[in-house]
Amino acid sequence: MNYTPTLPRTSLFELARSGDFQAISYWINKQLKPQGISARIAKETTGYLQVLVEFHREPPVDRLIKFICHQLGQLNSPVLERVNIVGRLSGSSNILWKHSVRINSPAKRNLNNQSNFANKTDNLKFQTFRSLMLIGSALAAFILGCWVSYYAVIVKNSISDKWVETATEKVQVINHKKIANPNDPTVTLMFAGDVNLSNPVSNSIQGNYKYPFAKMDEYRKADLAIVNLENPLSRSTLKNTTQQKKLTVDPNYVKVLTSGGVDLVNLANDHTIGYPEKSLVETIETLEDTGIHSLGAGRTKEEARRPKVMEIKGQKIAYLNYYDTDIPSTTRSVNVNTSNKDRISSDIQILRNQVDWIIVNYHWGVELSEYPGDWQMDTARMTIDQGADLVVGHHPKVLQGAEIYQGRPIIYSLGNFIFGDTSNKESDYETAVLKVSLKKGKMKIEFLPVVVSKYQPQIVKGEKGKEILKHIAEISSVFHQPMRTPVAIDPINKDFNFVGIDSVSGEQNSNNLSTRFGRGT
């Protein structure tokens, strides 16, 4: 059966461009209906569309999403900002997947810039597209395939056809393509501590976004780089006269993270909780627009809990992020993933047999304490018992110790990294970043000593580097099995063999690690 519109064809494009839902529905369904797919359009808030896609047999999700976004992008609408797309089987109430995509059309950019410049090339594309739309459904599959092939070339991290089950929903695996050395099978991850780019940092760098990470080439060379982001990137709270304004920076400061090679940020922290929802939404969208992933907080409870599953060089790595305590509903203005034993257990256990590695990040602990509390150790060890491969902590502002528990590493705090909180005026301090190398089921992990000068971190060697590593070893000595650095871990069922710098000679340790991972990794 043909899908017959009730709108005059001559007005279809203009109506859809103006935001008319019936016209947008026809605009999308004209090509989808012959493929056994239908889309329902509804308004969420101003500028936001909700698209419910129904099908008898699940199509390639990557292609479908790109096609819908392409259709909406072709409208060049000044009123459409974002689309939330959900998919389900026809006749079922079970949602199979959800995706949120920002629509960055030329018309929207021109409107924001208050410019009347007409993009003739885009207009020509729209006219061509209108002609294509009228040729009927015979070429729909061919056109869809061609458009998808074109758009797949320009995406930084493509959505793969692989899925994993989580405790609450199905999540699509992210095919992470920004890798340092495609020919090296070793996956390199970098973890740094807390990043806060508010007034002390922003005033210091004066718009020189490359300055903070200028001496951290190691971060840019990693396959995946992670930080704990502790300030909103939002214009909405810049107008406030309260403490919120002092800890907020303009979204342009996301360029600090992109110039540093950051791929993923944790948002489950106290600085996220203390701000209104619109500030969090703007932060997430700013990160998304630059290709940076976030986790631990979201526009919905489901998004806040949703893990990020990345496939890098054939290895699937799941990331989870939790805030240390439950937040009373009376004080919670945003959706943050809080740590609850049952929730943590179910999140990890359902992922365990679907991925190669599970990494859990916690925001926890007492500020300025060099040692974790008993409850932190209990939580970390419970996390390992449930199947996590690595636990990394944030928030105490200083380095805490690290241990090996059941053959797996726990790093209790990475301290401050680039931190400009107004309550802490220190711009010079010592810290460390964590480098993790993954290859064929083996993990190599090491602290890299860092000196921060005027909010600019740099990895150091020599005597200063030895001093920092010695300090980490001293505060780790309280644990039954302190983690030394570097350490190589070989998984054998639930038990691990590991080699640390204090268990063998330096030369032997270097040879052992080189044998496992190859030199230069």
Is residue 141 in a domain?
Answer: no
Is residue 471 in a domain?
Answer: yes
Is residue 121 in a domain?
Answer: no
Same domain for 53 and 202, yes or no, is no
Cα–Cα nearest to 40, from 20, 56, 25, 58: 25
Same domain for 102 and 194, yes or no, is no
Is residue 514 in a domain?
Answer: no
Is residue 260 in a domain?
Answer: yes
CB burial string 90-103: b at 16+ within 10 A, e below? eeeeeebbbbbbeb
Strand runs (DSSP E) across 44-186, as ranges?
A: 48-55, 82-89, 97-102, 158-165, 170-175
Q: At what angle do helices 374-385 and 341-352 cross, to 10 degrees?
A: 30
Render each residue's pLDDT in the chain as its tens digit; 521 residues: 333 344 444 467 888 888 887 888 888 888 888 778 988 887 666 677 889 998 888 788 878 888 888 888 888 888 888 888 988 888 777 788 888 887 765 655 555 444 443 444 444 444 444 443 443 433 344 333 433 333 333 334 555 568 999 999 999 999 998 888 888 999 999 999 999 998 788 888 888 999 999 999 999 999 999 999 998 998 876 565 555 456 788 999 999 999 999 999 999 987 777 678 888 999 999 999 999 999 999 989 999 999 999 999 999 999 999 998 655 444 456 789 998 899 999 999 999 999 999 999 999 988 778 899 899 999 999 999 999 999 999 988 899 999 999 999 999 999 999 987 645 567 789 999 999 999 988 999 999 999 999 999 999 999 999 999 999 999 999 999 999 999 998 764 444 334 443 333 334 444 445 555 554 44
Using the 3D structure, point to which of 92, 107, 122 is the last residue of a domain: 107
Entry field: residues in the chain: 521
- The residue segments making up the domain with residue 251 are 164-489
Residue pair 46/105 in contact by the 8 Å Cβ criterion: no
pLDDT of residue 498: 41
Same domain for 90 and 191, yes or no, is no
Domain count, the chain: 2
Cα–Cα nearest to 247, from 216, 269, 262: 269
List the CATH number of the domain containing 328: 3.60.21.10
Gap between the Cα atoms of 103 and 238, Å rounded:
24
pTM of the model: 0.69
Q: Tell me the CA distances in angstroms from 274 to 194, 237, 279, 305, 440, one per residue in order.
A: 16, 11, 10, 18, 42
List the CATH number of the domain containing 61: 3.30.70.2960
Residue 115 CB: number of other CB atoms within 10 A? 10
Same domain for 100 and 170, yes or no, is no
pLDDT of residue 198: 84
Gap between the Cα atoms of 32 and 158, Å rounded:
22
Same domain for 185 and 83, yes or no, is no
Strand runs (DSSP E) across 324-425, as ranges?
A: 335-336, 357-363, 390-394, 402-405, 408-411, 416-419
Is residue 5 in a domain?
Answer: no
Using the 3D structure, point to which of 62, 86, 107 is the last residue of a domain: 107
Residue pair 390/443 in contact by the 8 Å Cβ criterion: yes
Is residue 245 in a domain?
Answer: yes
Rounded (10°) CA dihedral 52, 57, 60, 64: -30
Same domain for 93 and 194, yes or no, is no
Same domain for 349 and 442, yes or no, is yes
Is residue 521 in a domain?
Answer: no
Same domain for 255 and 402, yes or no, is yes
Q: Tell me the CA distances in angstroms from 402 to 100, 146, 391, 482, one per residue in order.
A: 37, 51, 10, 6
Cα–Cα nearest to 433, from 282, 278, 226, 241: 226
pLDDT of residue 478: 95
